[in-house]
Chains A and B, each alone.
Chain A
Amino acid sequence: MADITESRIAAQSTAHPAKRIKWEAVGDHAILIAGALLMLVPVYMIFASSSWNDITLHREGLQFGFSDDMANNYNAALFEYGGFTDSVNGVTMLANSLILGIGFAIGKIIVGMMAAYAIVYFRLRFATLAFWMIFTTLLLPLEVRILPSYEVITWMNLGNTYTGLIVPLIASATATFFFRQFFMSVPEELIEAARIDGAGPVKFFIDILVPLSQTMIAAMFIIMFVFGWNQYLWPTLITTDESLFTLVRGIRQIMQAYSDGSTTPEYGEAAALAIIAMTPPVLVVVFFQSWFVKGLTESDK
């Protein structure tokens, strides 16, 4: 809000008398533009390159202009079966990535909300201890405990399954922590009113707490979906069956052909796949952001 009003005031004051150049604003914008370019140019380059054939890309590197192989490359990226066993194409990988991203985000939100609900609203013995134990898992991301996690998952015969792909990632405290902070800000009187209205713990959770947390859930979903989508190490480790490959993995798979030496790496297809891999997280952010900004401004709690 503050930014909006400030910039509005700035706009008014610059528009009003004889136009003076505000060097401060020019400087600010120069920095912003430079930052934006730094982020966007690589995206543009990969997009432009996805319209070239493999040979040009191999010879001349990434391209700034457009060529006419775009349809070919995207078609190949999406529908051409590849990989070692010829059992996976772009669409399968896209589906796998979506299952991982959405499954991870939803699983994490459900587990996090329920854990936070237990910690905040019930007088459990050792509740504080439990919270801090959950909290310390923030210091132990999957990468740190990857060997034991792998051991456990293979021992449970969950290698090459979606369950094995998603569940170990869910075990971390971020969502629990955010929901705990949010629940603690819900006024006490609301809980008491619900008790008098005859809402038991389950009803209170579903009828009142979950709807109140909408904005929080949306925010968590964005963060968690993108985090899950971008997972690389764990899917690489746990999925050997190519039909379970995710997009992020798949890009690498194509580039790997390089090491075989026998064929030209399919650079154009890889660039197209990179663009495809970028699209869903961008869409999720764009879609949910408008939704939760609306939720945040309607501040009634």
Chain B
Amino acid sequence: MAKVKLDGVRKVYPNGVEAVEPCHVDIPDGELVVLVGPSGCGKSTLLRMVAGLEEITDGTLHIGDTVMNDVEPANRNIAMVFQNYALYPHMTVAKNMGYGLKNRGLPKTEIAQKVAEAAKMLNLEDYLNRRPSQLSGGQRQRVAMGRAIVRSPELFLFDEPLSNLDAKLRNQMRIEIRALQQRLGVTAMYVTHDQVEAMTLADRIIVLNAGRIEQIGTPAEIYSQPASTFVASFMGAPPMNIFTGTSDGQQATLDGGLSLNGAGAPSQTGKIQIGIRPEDVALDPSGPLPFEVDIVEELGAHRLLHGQLSGQPFSVSLNKDEPASTGPTKIALKPGAVHFFDAEAGRRL
């Protein structure tokens, strides 16, 4: 078990592309941190630098109390689960799980015992003599997890481990991973592009965009206090509505002339961006804001209304019990529904 500390860690490829800008992250012992962002944002590169598969250009990486920058992956006491499982196709499940231990020179009986323990934990006992090709996707993923567990590492690294599974299995494995990580109490870093996975798994989330850390926080913080328009629109489905508008220091006004009375305003005046989550809105015939509904989308548990607010596109998410139809209606904002961001950089105000 160990804490992880990234101090100004940065990655520049030989062709001059800066894949990861200098970043500072502290991960306390036993925490599960999810790195999330769109493809190409540098989240995998960051993870691979921690694993030692990618060289660190600048900065220092601590795992526990040791600087790990130049330590071989095998000696970092980590375990990694890959997207395509990366199981050795010619080895049985038991050999796959025990290979790392064998390379460490552990005696055979001890390896067998550890493999048996892990297999029991993962319900793989009946499959120990099978080859990976004879297993289903979910079972292969479990073997990959088993290979990580038997090493009793200080740090788990997951690189999009669930993206090759179908939706149902993904939900199930997500819960298993979370339960396992908590039971073992091992620090973990988990890369995904799926914001639902990030929200449900994480103790804390790191949102990355274009090689830069946009925000670090608990899922609740990320959701309720997004640090930028990028985070606001990336986390949450459907995404937050972002309007352009102005502020006079007292009151914010959407472009199109609609004023948000009582929603407060940032101290910064001039052009701003205004964000409202689709869930933070209620239909209210006596509400202050006129909303023109164009389309109603049925999602079962929810209903999405797409339309225009002050001439700008706007979506509202309603509970299935609330009636909805197209046409003009009025809405009211729930308290704290309005987020303000600056106009250019999109940082929270």
Contact = CB atoms under 8 A, between A and B. Distances in A.
Interface of A: 187, 189-190, 192-199, 203, 207-208, 211-212, 214, 298, 300-301
A196 B133 contact: no
B79 interface: yes
Given A189-B82, A211-B90, A196 B131 contact: no
Contacts of B86: 187, 189-190, 192-193
A194 B103 CA distance: 10
Contacts of A207: 99
15 contacts: A187-B84, A189-B82, A189-B83, A189-B84, A189-B86, A190-B88, A192-B53, A193-B87, A195-B52, A195-B53, A197-B99, A203-B103, A211-B90, A214-B90, A300-B131
A95 B90 CA distance: 35
A214 B133 CA distance: 16
Most chain B CB inside 10 Å of its own CB: which residue of A193, A211, A301: A193
A193 B133 contact: no
Contacts of B52: 195-196
Interface of B: 51-53, 72-75, 78-80, 82-84, 86-90, 99-100, 103-104, 131-133, 147
Contacts of B83: 189
Contacts of A300: 89-90, 131-133
Nearest to A186: B89
Nearest to A197: B100
B89 A192 contact: no
Majority secondary structure, A binding face: helix
Contacts of B133: 298, 300
A214 B90 CA distance: 10
Contacts of B88: 190, 193-194, 208
B107 to A, nearest CB: 16
A72 to B, nearest CB: 51
B74 A195 contact: yes
A190 B96 CA distance: 12
B131 A197 contact: no
A173 B88 CA distance: 29
Nearest to A192: B53
B74 A197 contact: yes
A198 B75 CA distance: 8
Contacts of A198: 74-75, 100, 103-104
A192 B82 contact: yes
> Which 3 A-B pairs have CB atoms at the shortest separation, nearest pair first?
A198-B74, A197-B100, A300-B133
Most chain A CB inside 10 Å of its own CB: which residue of B79, B80, B88: B88
Nearest to A187: B84
Contacts of A199: 74, 99, 103
Given A190-B86, A192-B73, 10 more contacts: A189-B83, A192-B80, A196-B79, A196-B80, A197-B99, A198-B74, A198-B100, A198-B104, A212-B89, A212-B90
A187 B85 CA distance: 11
Contacts of B75: 198
Contacts of B51: 192, 196
Nearest to B95: A207
A214 B72 CA distance: 29
A198 to B, nearest CB: 3
A300 B79 CA distance: 23
A196 B104 CA distance: 11
A113 to B, nearest CB: 16
Nearest to A199: B103
Contacts of A190: 86, 88
Contacts of B132: 300
A208 B91 CA distance: 9
A192 B52 CA distance: 10
A300 B135 CA distance: 12
Most chain B CB inside 10 Å of its own CB: which residue of A195, A196, A198: A196
B101 to A, nearest CB: 9
Nearest to B159: A189
A156 B80 CA distance: 53
A297 to B, nearest CB: 11
Given A300-B89, A301-B89, A196 B74 contact: yes
Given A199-B99, A207-B99, A193 B89 contact: no
